[in-house]
C-alpha cells in the first residue's frame, strides 16, 4: 500500500473515533448494547391474554377416609344365657364327693391368675376345694398365687431359659406338628440332648395366698417321666413331655388359669382332639371359660374382618364341645378398649360390634355369654376406669384392682344363675 493511502486510512479512523466520543453516552458498554437489544426484542413480542376462567384450583387437603358402615346385629335380649350353664350347675352337687373342674382360657387379660383367682375364690367358698390347679412346668409369666423356682440337675435356672417348650399360640418355631400340646396349649420337654440337665428337674411351687393351699399334687406327663413330691417340691426324672403340674384338693371346685398371651383364641382346633377329650373326661371338666377377642380389635378396622374372626371363634367353640360334651361353655367378650384419635382417648369402633357378634354367636351355639364391655359401662368406660386407677395407661388392660373387680363380678354372675 502506498504511503498516502495509509495516511488517508488512519485519518478516517481517527475521525470516526472522535465522532463516537461526542455522540455515544459515557455509560455505554458492549453489555449495555446487548441488554438494549434484548429489551427491544421483548417489546416486539405481543402480549398474551390469560383467562382466569381456565385456571383450576387444586385443593391440597387429603381426601377423607371412606366411612366405615357397621352392620346392625339382631339379638334376642329376652334369654338369660346362664340357662346354658345348667349342666355345670347340676354337676356342683357332686363337689362334696369329687373334683368339679373349671378351665379358664384367655388372653393376656387373665395373666398372673388375674380374674381367674376371683372366680375360683367365689366358687370354692361356696362349694369347697382349694389349690390353684394347673400350672406349666416352666412358669415364664409370674403369678399372684404361686411362686415357682426351677432347678435343672441341681442348677437354678430362669423358667424362660430352662426347657425346650412348645406352644400352640406361640411363633412357628415353638409349634409342633402332632398337636400334642396338652390341655394348657403348651408343653415342656425333658431331654438332655435339647437342654443339658433337663432330665432331672426340681420344681418348687410355693402358694402365695392361704386360699392357694392344697392337699395333693398331680402331674400330667408322658409315662417315661417319673416323679415324686415333698411338700411344695416336685421331683421329675426321665425323658419325655410334661404337660402341666397341678396343686389341688380331692373334692370341691378346681379352677385352672390358662393364659395365652397375644392369642386370638383360634388355636384349639390345632390341639390333638383325643388328648383334649381324655383330659376333659378323666378330670371331670364341667365348665370351660373362653375369654378372647381383645387381640383382634387394635389391628382390624373392617367389620368383615371382625365377622370372619368371630366365625373362627365359633369353630373353636364347636371343637371344644366335641372334645368335652359333658361340659358347659361360657364365652367372655372383650372389655372396652381405647385408642387415641386426634389426641383424645376413644373406644375402638369395632369393640361394640364384636361384642354383639360374639353374643349372637353364643346364642346360636347355645352357650353362655358375659359381656365385659356392657358390664363396664359400654363405650368410653375404660377411660373412666383409667381415671379411678382400675385400668392401665394403654387403654386395654386392667390394673390388678380392676381385674379383681371384674373377676368378682363374673363369679357373682355365675352364682346368681344357680338360684334362678
Alpha helices of 57-184 — where are they, by DSSP H? 86-91, 116-127
Greater confidence (209 vs 311) lies with: 311
pLDDT for 10: 58
Other CB atoms closer than 10 Å to residue 94's CB: what's the count?
A: 14
pLDDT for 64: 60
pLDDT exceeding 90 applies to what percent of the chain? Answer: 76
Tell me, yes or no, whether 308 and 409 share the same domain.
yes
**How many structural domains are present in the chain?**
2
* Residue 362: exposure state from Cβ atoms within 10 A (0-12, 13-18, ≥19): buried
Given 205, 226, 248, the domain boundary residue is 248
Range of the domain at 350: 78-129+251-420
Tell me, yes or no, whether 331 and 268 share the same domain.
yes
> What DSSP character marks residue 212?
G
As a whole number, mean pLDDT of residues 290-319 equals 96
Instruction: Say yes or no to pLDDT of 22 above 70.
Output: no
pLDDT for 12: 54
Pairing mode, strands 200-207 and 146-152: antiparallel
Instruction: Say yes or no to pLDDT of 82 above 60.
Output: yes
How far CA 254 is from CA of 25, 127, 212, 383, 390, in Å, comes to 113, 10, 11, 34, 27
How far CA 252 is from CA of 124, 287, 288, in Å, comes to 7, 14, 16
Grid coordinates given for 303: 367389620
As a whole number, mean pLDDT of residues 30-43 equals 39
pLDDT for 71: 82
Examine residue 12 and state whether it is found in any structural domain, yes or no. Answer: no
Examine residue 42 and state whether it is found in any structural domain, yes or no. Answer: no
Give the closest residue to 243 by CA, choosing from 173, 320, 176, 184: 184
Tell me, yes or no, whether 201 and 267 share the same domain.
no
Cα separation, 85 vs 78, whole angstroms: 16
Residue that has been written with the C-alpha cell 433337663 in this structure? 198
Alpha helices of 324-399 — where are they, by DSSP H? 350-365, 372-376, 381-387
Cα separation, 293 vs 306, whole angstroms: 9
Given 231, 248, 265, the domain boundary residue is 248
Instruction: Say yes or no to pLDDT of 26 above 60.
Output: no
Other CB atoms closer than 10 Å to residue 303's CB: what's the count?
A: 18
Tell me, yes or no, whether 152 and 277 share the same domain.
no
Buried b (16+ CB within 10 A) or exposed e, 102-141: bbbbbbbbbbbbbbbbbbbbbbbebbbbbbbbbbbbbbbe
Instruction: Say yes or no to pLDDT of 118 above 70.
Output: yes
Tell me, yes or no, whether 265 and 367 share the same domain.
yes
Q: What is the pLDDT of residues 246-275, one digit of tens each?
A: 999 999 999 999 999 999 999 999 999 999
Alpha-carbon torsion (409, 412, 414, 419), positive or negative: negative
Q: What is the pLDDT of residues 136-154, one digit of tens each?
A: 999 999 999 999 999 999 9
pLDDT for 69: 83
Cα separation, 335 vs 398, whole angstroms: 9
Greater confidence (17 vs 402) lies with: 402
Longest dimension (CA), the chain: 150
DSSP β-bridge partners for residue 221: 242
Examine residue 164 and state whether it is found in any structural domain, yes or no. Answer: yes
As a whole number, mean pLDDT of residues 388-402 equals 93
Given 198, 220, 248, the domain boundary residue is 248
> What DSSP character marks residue 114?
T
Tell me, yes or no, whether 242 and 198 share the same domain.
yes
As a whole number, mean pLDDT of residues 315-327 equals 98
Amino acid at each position: 500500500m502506498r504511503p498516502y493511502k495509509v495516511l488517508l486510512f488512519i485519518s478516517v479512523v481517527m475521525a470516526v473515533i472522535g465522532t463516537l466520543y461526542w455522540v455515544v453516552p459515557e455509560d455505554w458498554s458492549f453489555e449495555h448494547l446487548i441488554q438494549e437489544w434484548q429489551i427491544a426484542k421483548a417489546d416486539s413480542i405481543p402480549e398474551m391474554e390469560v383467562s382466569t376462567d381456565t385456571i383450576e384450583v387444586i385443593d391440597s387437603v387429603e381426601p377423607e377416609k371412606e366411612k366405615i358402615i357397621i352392620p346392625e346385629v339382631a339379638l334376642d335380649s329376652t334369654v338369660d344365657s346362664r340357662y346354658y350353664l345348667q349342666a355345670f350347675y347340676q354337676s356342683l352337687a357332686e363337689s362334696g364327693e369329687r373334683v368339679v373342674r373349671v378351665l379358664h382360657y384367655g388372653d393376656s387379660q387373665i395373666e398372673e391368675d388375674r380374674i381367674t383367682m376371683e372366680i375360683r375364690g367365689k366358687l370354692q367358698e361356696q362349694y369347697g376345694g382349694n389349690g390353684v390347679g394347673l400350672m406349666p412346668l416352666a412358669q415364664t409369666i409370674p403369678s399372684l398365687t404361686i411362686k415357682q423356682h426351677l432347678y435343672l440337675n441341681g442348677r437354678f435356672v430362669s423358667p424362660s431359659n430352662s426347657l425346650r417348650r412348645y406352644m400352640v399360640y406361640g411363633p412357628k418355631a415353638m409349634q409342633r406338628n402332632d398337636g400334642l400340646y396338652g390341655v394348657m396349649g403348651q408343653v415342656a420337654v425333658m431331654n438332655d440332648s435339647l437342654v443339658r440337665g433337663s432330665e432331672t428337674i426340681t420344681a418348687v411351687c410355693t402358694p402365695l395366698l392361704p386360699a392357694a393351699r392344697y392337699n395333693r399334687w398331680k402331674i400330667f406327663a408322658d409315662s417315661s417321666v417319673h416323679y415324686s413330691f415333698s411338700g411344695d417340691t416336685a421331683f421329675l426324672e426321665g425323658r419325655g413331655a410334661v404337660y402341666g403340674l397341678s396343686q389341688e384338693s380331692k373334692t370341691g371346685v378346681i379352677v385352672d388359669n390358662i393364659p395365652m398371651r397375644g392369642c386370638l383364641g383360634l388355636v384349639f382346633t390345632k390341639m390333638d382332639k383325643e388328648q383334649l377329650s381324655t383330659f376333659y373326661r378323666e378330670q371331670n371338666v364341667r365348665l370351660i371359660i373362653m375369654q378372647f377377642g381383645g387381640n383382634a380389635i387394635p389391628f382390624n378396622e373392617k367389620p368383615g374382618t371382625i365377622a370372619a374372626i368371630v366365625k373362627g371363634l365359633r369353630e373353636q367353640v364347636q371343637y371344644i364341645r366335641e372334645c368335652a360334651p359333658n361340659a358347659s361353655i361360657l364365652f367372655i367378650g372383650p372389655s372396652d378398649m381405647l385408642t387415641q384419635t386426634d389426641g383424645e382417648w376413644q373406644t375402638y369402633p369395632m369393640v361394640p360390634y364384636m361384642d354383639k357378634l360374639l353374643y349372637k354367636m353364643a346364642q346360636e351355639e347355645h352357650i353362655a355369654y358375659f359381656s365385659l364391655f356392657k358390664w363396664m359401662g359400654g363405650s368410653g368406660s375404660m377411660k373412666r376406669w383409667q381415671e379411678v386407677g382400675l385400668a392401665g395407661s394403654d387403654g386395654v388392660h386392667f390394673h390388678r384392682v380392676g381385674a379383681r373387680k371384674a373377676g368378682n363380678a363374673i363369679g357373682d354372675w355365675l352364682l346368681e344363675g344357680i338360684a334362678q
